[in-house]
Amino acid sequence: MTARVPPVAADRLPALLAAMPKAELHMHIEGSLEPEMAFALAARHGIALPYADSAALRRAYAFGDLQSFLDLYYQGAAVLRTEQDFYELARAYLARAATENVVHAEIFFDPQTHTARGVPMATVIRGLARAGDEARRERGISSALILCFLRHLSEREAFETLEQALPFRDAFIGVGLDSSERGHPPEKFARVFARCRELDLHIVAHAGEEGPPAYIWAALDVLKAERIDHGVQAVHDAALMQRLARERVPLTVCPLSNQKLQVFPDLARHSLPQLLAGGLCATVNSDDPAYFGGYVNANFQALFAATGLDAQAAWQLAANSFEASFVDASAKQRWLDRLNESFERAHDASA
């Protein structure tokens, strides 16, 4: 869907990016663990962190690639132990998202990171789900959970994780695939995703973050992914770009993540403008906001400042986020109406 948006003065664009309603479809709840909360939870559980304080931990967030980030991310997640911890983590994210005019969030969680440490699946899911229910009631933000399998582990372990999660089938809407991409192609998980489809779970997968376009093809053809997480390497394959555009397969793009993990030499060279120009359903998301220097609005602001994208692109990205979400058509239309109202207001303020 496209629409001509009313003209908005360039100096109004940052305020518009912040104020416009949007959906966030690619964020890992463990990646919203701020250093201050990591220290608070470590103190709660008598865990010693190998950093003097939260500022020292934050200084360690300098990454050369995806793996160097994942090593710290899994280490950080070790402070999450109780249902209350997971609840507080998700509550903090949803409170922040609501202030950034996120109307709907589809939230990844990595249960294997926790079950491997002896934390029961029930503890993880109940804590996260409680925060989602509360935020819907108290802040009017809707959310849903997507369970991710860690691709550096085996398919057998993914099956075991699925089994453990099935008693909570109503608490999550889909499954995804994340962690170390190179050397772990989607084909490795063909059978477990086939089983997930039989269970009517939505299917998404990280592909083409660092890995080649072939991983995006395999995510579509083998896993039957409905959305591709990242997908920024698609620009290297013209046939793939045409398919993604024709089929309106959404890409959940994370600009600050790509910058921090050195997927692009700098944001000005990010492929998102090319994806939009190619007619793809690209969206903007934060991935792991505590690690990558910003929540969703910071991603919009940095991307637009670096690339010169305009108000028309802002509208398209927000509309795409609604189109790409796993909600019913009436909610999408309601949010689209609100989006159009926010553009009318920005236009009036420009005059």
Ligand X SMILES: Nc1ncnc2[nH]cnc12
Consult the annotation and say whether 206 binds a ligand. yes
Consult the annotation and say whether 287 binds a ligand. yes
Residues 141 and 93 sit within 8 Å (Cβ to Cβ): no
How far apart are CB 151 and ligand X at their closest, in Å?
Answer: 8
Residues 253 and 285 sit within 8 Å (Cβ to Cβ): yes
Listed as own residue / partner, the contacts of 315-320 with beta carbons closer than 8 Å and 24 or more positions apart are 315/3, 315/5, 315/20, 315/339, 315/343, 316/2, 316/276, 317/22, 317/276, 317/282, 317/283, 317/284, 318/20, 318/21, 318/22, 319/1, 319/2, 319/3, 320/250, 320/281, 320/282, 320/283
Q: x-or-dash pattern for Zn ion, window 31-70, by CB under 5 A?
A: ----------------------------------------
Q: Please tell me the distance from the alpha carbon of residue 345 to that of residue 18, in angstroms, as a whole number.
A: 13
Catalytic entry in 209, 210, 226, 247: 209
Residue 179 touches which of ligand X, Zn ion, none (CB < 5 to 8 A by kind)?
ligand X
Consult the annotation and say whether 26 binds a ligand. yes
How far apart are CB 337 and Zn ion at their closest, in Å?
Answer: 30
Q: Which residue in 13, 21, 28, 174 binds ligand X (CB under 6 A)?
A: 28
For 326, how many CA atoms within 13 A lie in the half-sphere containing its CB?
21
Consult the annotation and say whether 45 binds a ligand. no
| Residues in binding contact with Zn ion, number by CB under 5 A | 1
Residue 31 touches which of Zn ion, ligand X, none (CB < 5 to 8 A by kind)?
ligand X
With CB under 5 A as the contact rule, which of the stretches 81-89, 118-126, 287-295, 310-318 interacts with Zn ion? Answer: 287-295
Given the complex with ligand X, which of 63 and 304 has the nearer CB atom?
Answer: 63
Given the complex with ligand X, which of 85 and 287 has the nearer CB atom?
Answer: 287
Residues 185 and 218 sit within 8 Å (Cβ to Cβ): yes
Return the residues of window 73-92 that contact ligand X according to CB under 6 A: 73
Q: x-or-dash pattern for ligand X, window 176-205, by CB under 6 A?
A: --xx--------------------------
Positive or negative: CA dihedral 150, 152, 153, 155: positive
Residue 85 touches which of Zn ion, ligand X, none (CB < 5 to 8 A by kind)?
none
Q: Phi/psi zone of residue 34: left (φ > 0), alpha (ψ -120 to 50 degrees), beta?
A: beta
257 in contact with ligand X (CB under 6 A): yes
| Sheet containing strand 142-150, strands side by side | 22-28, 102-109, 142-150, 174-178, 202-207, 227-230, 251-253, 282-284
Q: Which residue in 287, 315, 325, 339 binds Zn ion (CB under 5 A)?
A: 287
Q: Please tell me the distance from the alpha carbon of residue 73 to that of residue 54, in angstroms, as a whole number.
A: 14
Given the complex with ligand X, which of 28 and 104 has the nearer CB atom?
Answer: 28
Given the complex with ligand X, which of 100 and 287 has the nearer CB atom?
Answer: 287
Q: Which residue in 209, 232, 260, 320 binds ligand X (CB under 6 A)?
A: 209
Residue 209 annotated among the catalytic residues of the structure: yes
Rounded to whole angstroms, what are the CA distances from 60 to 64, 277, 291, 292? 12, 36, 10, 12
Consult the annotation and say whether 152 binds a ligand. no
Return the residues of window 170-189 that contact Zn ion according to CB under 5 A: none
Site residues, Zn ion (CB under 5 A): 287
Site residues, ligand X (CB under 6 A): 28, 31, 66, 73, 178-179, 206, 209, 257, 287-288
Catalytic center residues: 209
Binding positions are: 26, 28, 206, 287-288
